[in-house]
Amino acid sequence: MLENKESLKARAIVLSIFIGLMWFVRGIDSFLPHGFSSAGVGIVPRTWSGLHNIPIAPFIHEDFDHLLSNTIPFLILGALILVRGVIEFVFVIFVTTFVSGFGTWLFGEGNAQHIGASGIVFGFFGYLVFRTAFDRRVSSAIITLAVAIAYGSAMTWSLIPEDHVSWSGHFFGFIGGFAAARMRYPHRPRVVTAEMLSKVIDFQSKKTA
């Protein structure tokens, strides 16, 4: 069930725009020599140009296989975040993009171009896993359990350093997801216990008496 007045169509459009941009860039790049992109070179750690390319890197992919491997989890996890609204979705993308990108710029393998939306995908995963700890909602817990079962094993293995894989983007994307969850829900709601409820009832009874 949607949790605010935004229509399902509006949320689908927002999700389609992000995915469409990735496919649009890859479509143009398919006509260019391998290793070149119309959107730039991605994140090159500890270079000024790499720093400027942090917002662009998620839209650049090496080939269609690389793009497809990111599109499917981006679509599924992004849709789960969109249940809470467009603002939450855009907020998570913003935070995870910059945490993942800046972490990669600082600690990623040098003399390499770090590209792809996997940092955001891991950010989505981290956000959905940790959100339950901060908002204490049953709906969040159900989503967390489903995401952990479906993606937990694959995501965990992908955090391990591997040749030709931007593990730094994955790791810091996951950290970005945690940061987004903490910032989005800075105050934990109080859990009403039986003792607290009993005190409220006693207080109301004394007032009416």
Lowest-confidence region among 70-84, 100-114, 118-132, 175-189: 175-189
Which has the higher per-residue pLDDT, 49 or 1? 49
pTM: 0.86
Mark 108-133 as b/e (b = at least 16 C-beta within 10 Å).
beeeebbbbbbbbbbbbbbbbbbbbe
Is residue 105 pLDDT above 50, yes or no?
yes
pLDDT at 200: 42
Residue whose tokens read 């891991």: 122
Confidence bin at 193 (pLDDT 50/70/90): very low
Domain boundaries, the chain: 8-208
Per-residue model confidence as pLDDT tens digits over 61-75:
999 999 999 999 999
pLDDT at 3: 61
CATH class of 8-208: mainly alpha
